[in-house]
Amino acid sequence: MRFVDLHSHLLPGLDDGPASLQETVEMLRFAYQRRTRGIVATPHAFQPMFSTPGPVELHDAFTGLMKHLHQLSDDPEHSFLGEMAIYLGSENLFSPEFLEAVANREVVALNGSRYLLVEFPPFLSYHFVESAIEQILEVELIPVLAHVERYQFFHRRPGRLGNLRHRGCVIQINAESLEEGRLGEEARLAQSLTRRGLLDVIASDGHDVGARPPDMQGAFERLSKGFPEESLHTWMWENPVRILGNRDLVSVY
């Protein structure tokens, strides 16, 4: 099976992802060797640790990267680049500035679709998160909730995710939380969501080729012991492809 990875930090020099074009290429090579064929660059946005480029700057940075990669792909050593589809999005941290940008539609959604990748500061209460989600849905954007297994307010009440999903949110889990040998609350929630079918997308959230690589294959190998290939195809290929094409998603159960 091949994968489409909806969440990664691929654009060089913008956040805590690769520092150089060379590191970006190494991440792409790693992803390709682990059977990813489509990948979305989702740099952090509205994250105070990094300067947030606006939509115009992000598109410019992406166009610049694509130009470099296209030139490189002529070289036999980099010919794999010709088999990788690369898209632009962003990973947006909830803040008043972010919600203002949402209202003005000044955000970079996943491949220009209505799907917008979002994360929350860990200290927020669930009720604040819920009302922020409502504000996004109101302007007819669909929040894709990044790495939901990280939040304590879901550890205690995983049923909340069913509720948010019912209201139209898309649920994303990080592949590494589903790998063999993972322990702790995050892995426990991630595994329980797969068993209950309470998720839509598995993505890598890759940052580098070291500690946080763009790897989907590890999760695939672990999950294929307990789930039909059809479910894994939905989470790791079909739904990501549908999001990039601005289409409705399919559910495993």
Q: What track of x and - describes contact with Fe ion for positions 80 through 109 (by CB under 5 A)? A: -----------x------------------
- In the complex, minimum distance from the CB of residue 191 to Fe ion, in angstroms, rounded to a whole number: 20
Q: Is the Cβ of residue 95 or residue 231 nearer to Fe ion in the bound state?
A: 95
Q: Is the Cβ of residue 91 or residue 186 nearer to Fe ion in the bound state?
A: 91
- In the complex, minimum distance from the CB of residue 70 to Fe ion, in angstroms, rounded to a whole number: 25
Per the structure block, which two tokens stand in for 18?
């690769």
Q: Does 205 bind Fe ion (CB under 5 A)?
A: yes
Residues binding Fe ion: number (CB under 5 A) = 2
Q: Is the Cβ of residue 117 or residue 198 nearer to Fe ion in the bound state?
A: 117
Q: Does 15 bind Fe ion (CB under 5 A)?
A: no
Nearest to 9 by CA among 186, 107, 146: 146
Q: Is the Cβ of residue 6 or residue 252 nearer to Fe ion in the bound state?
A: 6
Strands 91-93 and 85-88: unpaired
Nearest to 214 by CA among 80, 26, 19, 72: 26
Q: Does 215 bind Fe ion (CB under 5 A)?
A: no
Strands 44-45 and 3-8: unpaired
Q: Which residue is nearest to Fe ion (CB)?
A: 205
- In the complex, minimum distance from the CB of residue 95 to Fe ion, in angstroms, rounded to a whole number: 16
Nearest to 36 by CA among 58, 8, 11: 8
Q: Is the Cβ of residue 108 or residue 252 nearer to Fe ion in the bound state?
A: 108
Binding site for Fe ion (CB under 5 A): 91, 205
